[in-house]
Structure 1
Amino acid sequence: MINFESMANVDGVITSAADARVPIMDRGFLYGDSIYEVFRTYRGIPLFHDEHWARFQRSAKLAHLTLAISKDQIIDEIRRTVQATNAAEQNRDLYVRYIVTRGEGPVDLFPRPELTTRYVIIVKELPEWDPEFLRVGLRLAIPETRRNAINSLNPNIKGGNYLNNVLGIIEARMLGADDCVMLNDSGLITEASTSNIFFVMHDEKVLVTPAETAGHLRGLTKAAVEKLCVKHDLQLSAKDITTDLLLHTTECFLTSSTREIMPVSSLRLPSGDVLRYPDGGGSITRQVIGHYQAFIDDYLKDYEHLCLF
């Protein structure tokens, strides 16, 4: 198979990702002062492009960052970057990240109003997950590090400062897990490092997911799953989830653009106790996976015109 070379686009200059350059005085590098979105493609068709752009605009507003590039311009630049790869010939599914930094300026926390924003686009292969993650499931652990509070750094600013999540996943790996599930300062479940989370309650067979007030990103795959639950008469509740409530759960899965719906096989609690879930997901998790796969098939038929190849 021909090797795939990742490509990048920095303010319109397309190079291999390895050769792309951003000045060291860029605030995105110095402070994580940037916002971004990630989407995946299926047969060249971007998933949730409109929704990603709407969330990007919301991040910009929350971060007091004025966008100098439009939705049409960004998709044109993404298409140019994709077409600089050999993805079409190889029919590769892609990972696409677009970033806007606040720009380049002096070493000063206050962003001067004359700064010019910079955009960066990265196109690479879609991650290939360990087959065991789908066959058996992810191992999760709750770390000591707590999720940033909403009134400290709102998780709905999808920004470049990910140190909070980095610390969480480092601790989870040290505990022998694949990913973390972070609590907020009140001890409520929020989300995994880069994914939203759902549980199934033992008695009611009801899906539950953390309430938005707990502090988590408004995930687009999560939103799609919530709509599918309504469509297929699966009971779903958004609520405060404590670690005590977890003792009454029988299934668990994560959702994200790149992971889609991924079952969880175990969850280590702060006490050291480990909850076990069915390999490959229980009956409700499998139902949700099936509904989501059918949804993707329909989505691709409706959005074929957006193909980036």
Structure 2
Amino acid sequence: MIPNVDNDSLVYLNGELVRLGDAKISVLDRGFIFGDGIYEVVPVYHGKPFRIHEHLARLQRSLKKVCIETGKSDADWEHLLRDMLKRSGLADCTLYLQVTRGVAKREHGFPTDPCEPTIFCMVSPFARPDAKKREHGYSVVSMPDLRWQHCDIKSVSLLGNVLAKQFATDAGVDDVIQFRNGHLSEGSSSNVWVVKNGVLIAPVRDEFILEGIRYVFIQELAQKLGIRFESRAILQEEVAAADELMLSSATKEILPITQYDGKAVGNGKPGPVYAQLRAGYDAAIAAL
């Protein structure tokens, strides 16, 4: 049994509804053997999925990039997720969906014989970031981005992200900010935002970052709030000299970074741009 997990909760596995504690896959599943699969995490607030269509669009992009064919449309995926949400009875939760290439002989190349993708979905309780995280912010350290060059694919192959998070844990901080060739990429599992002179700056959406669903959402918020936004390459020196730093993800929403490499960011407190974006984020959730 897995500790701290509700093994009696209902999950979806390859067309069947089963107890989480009874859900099993073959040891030859390519997701288990090679990390050959993709996933999505959709946050849900008071029973309503947040930006579900954007998540499903990214799901389809990832599936296409790794050549996994499921035959499912956006409507099919949405029906599955909403059905699982309804069955769970949870109001604030996350919808987790994972698709692997399926079960096949262990060979690195794609299977030559047809195999069915493995499809798994579960619903888990979700607590929004608490007041302490919002008011005091995160502490982070910098590190080289040692991951592969297809970070735009939301792959289950997350060893690089796991090692980055452990780097932060070993350093006694909340997270890392990674750099590739002297330029900002991401946190361990989040997009990173820089503010200088009131301008909100984000890395370019390319293969070196995962385009978080919050990336476009926060860009939209900035435009609505009259905050100037730039998407461009960001030097490591610019991050160190930022007036504000923030990170965003499905479960972290948007949070301030108040300490970077042992030094205060700005005055060491969440800044005014963060406050505007935080309020806009909360308003969007309340309007669901």
| TM-score normalised according to structure 1 size | 0.85
Given the alignment of the two structures, is residue 82 of structure 1 paired with residue 85 of structure 2, yes or no? yes
CA distance 1:297–1:86, change in 2 (3 Å): closer
The residue that corresponds to 1:143 in the other structure is 143
CA distance 1:222–1:8, change in 2 (3 Å): same
Are the counterparts in 2 of residues 7 and 82 from structure 1 also a CA contact under 8 Å?
no
* Cα deviation code 1:197-227 (max 9, x no counterpart): 11111xx221111122472111111111101
Given the alignment of the two structures, is residue 243 of structure 1 paired with residue 236 of structure 2, yes or no? yes
Of 64, 67, 71 in structure 2, the residue corresponding to residue 64 of structure 1 is 67
Task: Please give the alpha-carbon distance, in whole angstroms, between the structure 2 residues aligned to 1:278 and 1:242.
Answer: 21
Partner amino acid for 1:111? Answer: F
CA distance 1:118–1:247, change in 2 (3 Å): closer
Gaps of 5+ in 2: none
Of 177, 183, 205 in structure 1, the residue corresponding to residue 198 of structure 2 is 205
* Cα deviation code 1:79-138 (max 9, x no counterpart): 333333342xxxx30111111110001111112141211110011111454642222011
Q: Displacement, 1:287?
A: 0.8
The residue that corresponds to 1:108 in the other structure is 107
Which secondary structure does the structure 2 equivalent of 1:192 belong to?
coil
* Cα deviation code 1:22-49 (max 9, x no counterpart): 2111101111101111101111111111
Of 167, 176, 181 in structure 2, the residue corresponding to residue 180 of structure 1 is 176
The residue that corresponds to 1:155 in the other structure is 151
CA distance 1:295–1:265, change in 2 (3 Å): same
Bigger Cα displacement from structure 2, 135-144 vs 22-31: 135-144
The residue that corresponds to 1:306 in the other structure is none
The residue that corresponds to 1:264 in the other structure is 257
Task: Please give the alpha-carbon distance, in whole angstroms, between the structure 1 residues aligned to 2:244 and 2:18.
Answer: 44
Are the counterparts in 2 of residues 247 and 275 from structure 1 also a CA contact under 8 Å?
no
| TM-score normalised according to structure 2 size | 0.90
Partner amino acid for 2:279? Answer: G
The residue that corresponds to 2:162 in the other structure is 166
The residue that corresponds to 1:286 in the other structure is 275
* Cα deviation code 1:21-76 (max 9, x no counterpart): 12111101111101111101111111111111111111111112112323222233
**Equivalences, count:** 282
Gaps of 5+ in 1: 301-309
Give the CA RMSD over aligned residues.
2.1
Q: Displacement, 1:297?
A: 2.9
